[in-house]
Structure 1
Amino acid sequence: MSTAVYHPRIPRSPISSLPGVKRFANAIWYRSKAKIRDILEHEDPDSSTPPPQAHWIPPEILEMIIANLAYDSRTLKACAATCFTWYNITIPHLYHTLKFRQWSRDSSRTYLHPLEGLHKLDLLPYVKQVQFSKALFGTIYISPAIFDSENLQYFRALENLQDLTIADLDFLKFPMGPVEYFGHFSPTLRSVALIAPRGTRRELLDFFGSFPNLDNVEISDYSALAVEDEAPDILLVPMEGRLRGQLTLKNLDDERLLKDMIVAYGGMQFTSMVLHHVQGIQLVLDACANTLETAYIQLHNASKHSSAQSCDLSRNNALRSLEILGPRLSDSLQHAHKIKAIKGLLSTIKSPVFSEVVVIFSELDARWPPRGLDRVLREFYRVKQFRVAFCLETLEEFMAPHLELLNLEMKRVAAWGAYDFLPCPPVISSRIETKYTRYPSGICDS
């Protein structure tokens, strides 16, 4: 039988029981000891012994560390909370992009409310990219109403903006033109993206022309207005600049806009292109014959039963890399047409510096394994290095029993070049370069 031992309770001081008091007292105690030690160990100022140098990390090393964490906001916030040095380096990355969204139908004047908070913290100079998201409630919210006097003052304080993306921009809602509210970005703006804009070709070109330092242009989901179908050719004013960056065109059915842009700018000098379902691909390829270095092309189908649109790259003498989005292998109607178009496109390349081509097939399933792909690439024997990428969106679900067949086919392809597998549907970047996240090598050994 165990005997319980009584321990008397020692009453705690009401002051010591307060949260944080003990830590505060320890901090004062240790800092006082450090001060006393410094006073006792202080040497004569004329002493020849140099003071010990503080250990610090060069800013270049810190920038390299932060560059690897640019897309990890939680880690960046943790770094910013450590010390003032980390704070100064991480803040430009944390507040690099500012997004405006439509929160409700009625509160039209609150869409720019993040500007006030950034202004109070003096963070507006760090914003370099602004994005206006698409309308969520079927009503266009980007209008002069959201730029009231206070918000417009904060909006014009974005003095270092380099990238502007606007979705659902309706030029009819701006009687004086949207340049009245966005024109102050012209000294620093380098990239403009218009997603599903509503306006005439002249209005779009005037908007782009208001930014003389523009390098990168994106136009997505644009269709000419009905009033322009029977209108005569517009009188174009010569634009400043030469557009030396990347051109991104997605779902563009009216090639008249491309013709007008080439005439207005007196030609183009884009070094990179992303062309996704575009009528008039040949126009922009010929306009940048001497400058185009990298291109991403998805061939356009005029109709469901017609052949894919053909392209000619024989004039692009500076072309180095080409990425082609192939057909859906489950679509038997378009498979043969697009394979033929890809074969014809590869045969036109005459560039002496060309070194890489990536053919991407998406939605791979068991019904359409890549049979005959090696015959298409075999004819392109002049290429020193090329890769073939397959999207793994449906590979894990449908192709698991057929990996052996896929390996046999890819061994023949590997004899002529390397190949890769994509872990998800290819994400087409509309900025500067096209990036893909790939699985490590060895998943499907050759």
Structure 2
Amino acid sequence: MDRIVIRGGNRLTGRLPISGAKNAALTLMPCALLTEEPVTLRNLPRLADVDSFGHLLNQLGASTEIEGARPTDFGRVMTIRAGRLTSTEAPYDIVRKMRASILVLGPLVGRAGEAKVSLPGGCAIGNRPIDLHLRALEAMGADIELAAGYVRASAPGGRLPGGRVTFSIVSVGATENAVMAAVTARGGTIIENAAREPEIVDLCNLLLAMGASISGVGTGTLEIEGRDRLHGATYRVMPDRIEAGSYACAAAITGGSVDLVGIKADDMRATIAGLADAGVTVIEKGDVLTIAADGPLRPLTLSTAPFPGFATDMQAQIMAMLCRAAGSSVLTETIFENRYMHVPELARMGADIQVRGRTALVRGVDRLVGAPVMATDLRASMSLIIAGLVAEGETQVSRVYHLDRGYERLEEKLQAVGADIERVGDG
């Protein structure tokens, strides 16, 4: 099994390209199930999760064609053709690897009138039930059955009637499934307390390009009028705000100066504000975000929250950065109850962190020391990389398959801005 080896102490300087967003890509790909015509996605990141989702679409009868991108290129262009669905079942052996697989539920019911989807897997960061997804589909007229580890959903008469969906709490995934199911319903659907994340906006924009009728995009209330059919489209995946924020933390902890190229600053305002409050210089110029840190980092008090709040997917990375701040920071995780599994690994490197319930007290230290550490989930993996970049000596990060799920060619990007980092195999 591969490991990432980092010899810390180098300042990161230079230009670093930001890839297409993982969380958006995995939401846009299932939209192709809603039409018989081809859907082409540009700027699709080269990630294990994207490959896994492609395999799932193949299982359902869709073809996936990657246009002639060179192995050294960042991003890909994929055309998905679902002219005829050969199956409406998403099996356990594929779904268990990736929670986002549940996002075929809405489009399958929307187009085929039925779906059988295994209960999902993914990162072990806490309880993430799919009851909100199922209640949303029920509110739109679907019949739901849970049996033998699978969700069975069907639309009476082969097509959902539509309805009013009111989420008790904000849920990104449930909003995405509800939107994809609603766009081909017989009637209208109103979704209240909808998630407002940029990835939801990206989803709606693709569906609009495919002929859907959606109003209220970017707000907490979406009004959707179902269409008899959607057509194909070509669409560019939004830039990855979490990848950009992760590399911003890496530049800051090393006292470096990095230009993040290809970003959309409005999608990451909370991250930018947190960096600025920590004493990092942040300069916006078009699609380039310059991150520079030439003095001590300041401590922060932050709580994660749904967009436009501070993203839970950035909590581990900013915690790693704050391990070197001059003072004590307080981080509160409000989204997932088990998202501090990286704390013991950071402690192996000399971090001083105390966790009480959902709150972590991070006391800044003068130095971190390289150590063998183990990744526990995708964003936790990145926090260990960030700490390793400034740690004295050598850090070895194992179980890096987590990183491959969400960071495109991480070692190459960091090497290009001065990091001493490489991937090595156990052999």
Question: If you compute each CA radius of gyration, which structure gives the higher value, 1 or 2?
Answer: 1
Relative to its length, the structure with more strand (as a share) is 2
TM-score greater than 0.5 by the shorter chain: no
TM-score (norm 2): 0.25
TM-score (norm 1): 0.24
RCO comparison, higher one (Cα < 8 Å, 6+): 2
